[in-house]
Amino acid sequence: RGSMGIVYQAVDPEIGRVVAVKTLRKLVTDFHFRADSILLRFQEEARAAGILRHPNIVTIFDVSMDGETPFIVMDYVEGESLESVLEKNKKLPLD
């Protein structure tokens, strides 16, 4: 099971805040339409999160490309990944 991308912890050089930079793997594939659909999903995720304002939703600061690598810059949230929480608990309570 491969990951579609990587999330990095970084520092915004302009104002010094800690951010998360979510990247996609390089979008060069044998099937061009698949790369297009992956990029579209990534952009829709950024757009949806960027429109919403709620204390439990991270703020999106930027969406761009570095060469062929798309990325989203967002609030950094300290904590465990969902994957590690599910490995420990297997099932989460509804509340």
pLDDT at 87: 87
Residues contacting residue 64 through CB under 8 Å, at least 6 positions apart: 70, 71, 73
pLDDT at 1: 41
Taking CA atoms, 78 is separated from 47, 54, 60, 75, 83, in Å, by 23, 17, 16, 10, 15
pLDDT at 47: 80
Q: What are 41-80's pLDDT values in tens digits?
A: 777 877 887 787 888 888 888 888 888 788 889 899 988 8
For the entire predicted model, the pTM comes to 0.68
pLDDT at 20: 94
Question: Is 19 in a helix, a strand, or coil?
Answer: strand
The average pLDDT across 35-43 equals 75
